[in-house]
Amino acid sequence: MSKVIFETYSNDKNDARSDYRDTIIWLLNRMNTELMVLSKQEALFTDAQYRVATALLLSTCTTGANISQLVEKLSVCSKDALPLARSFYESCLQACLVLSDSGEFAERAELYSIYKTFSNQTQHYKLGDKKGTIALGIRLDRKQEIVAKAVELFSPTRGKKAKSCFNLSRREMIDTIKSRSPYSAICFQGVEGMNFDLASEISHGSYYAFQVAAGHFPSSVENHEIVQDDFAFRATSTVALCSDAVARLILSIKDDLEEAKVLSQACNVYFQEEIPEMSEGLSKLEVR
């Protein structure tokens, strides 16, 4: 069966950028593995914090691998790396959040997962005058203590919407993380400005996103190659900033975690090469 295939190309700068990105993702995975081992050796975090944070970081590594597939070679598909970079960012943001307190955020994350599974296990539908339900395969018993606790915590009260996992905006999450690691908060703020809005436009399939990807704004871009290279730069910079944020937050808690040190150093080598002004600015900050 035939399938749609788009032409790909690359350049020396993007090839080097891809090497940096793949190395950072590889090191992030190593650091996460070290965290998993640490969970059996030190009570640095609660069990829930270890479980939630390492699961989120494992997810970022798989997302990072998918980002690489879209921008290792440039094409009209490169734009789709930005929504994945947004997902990478939000997973790292939540991982840092659950490691920033004494365990309450991680407990909420686990209960929220149970609540969502329970609340979605039966779907109601209506087609004309016919109504019915569709039962999903996963079944949780509301009488189980942990399920009852999750339902009580997150079920919507009368006239209100269901509660979100943390009841915090991204800005509030960053502010919470800032109390533990100002450096990490600055990295996340950089991602907010660099990628989040455009990634949202692409995710929602807006006409504006199509125009940007098609290079229809000659005042800001010259051709498709510049646009697609910019997408690869934004996605890779998001990976580097978020990975450094996670590494630095963990180092603010345990400053001798070797894999976190190596990861942060690798991110800074990328900054020096691709964003020298950011590298210089970060190096002047006397924050952790």
Q: Three-state SS for 156?
A: coil
pLDDT digits (tens, 9 = 90+) for 167-180: 999 999 999 999 99
Q: What is the pLDDT of residue 158?
A: 59
**Model-level pTM?**
0.89
Give dist(CA 197, CA 192) in Å, integer: 8
Residue 74 has pLDDT above 90, yes or no: yes
Q: What is the pLDDT of residue 103?
A: 93
191-217 as b/e: b if 16+ CB within 10 A: beebbbebbebbeeeeeebeebbebee
Q: What is the pLDDT of residue 180?
A: 94
- Where do the domains of the chain lie? 12-102+169-284
> Which of 71, 85, 89 is closest to 228 using CA atoms?
71
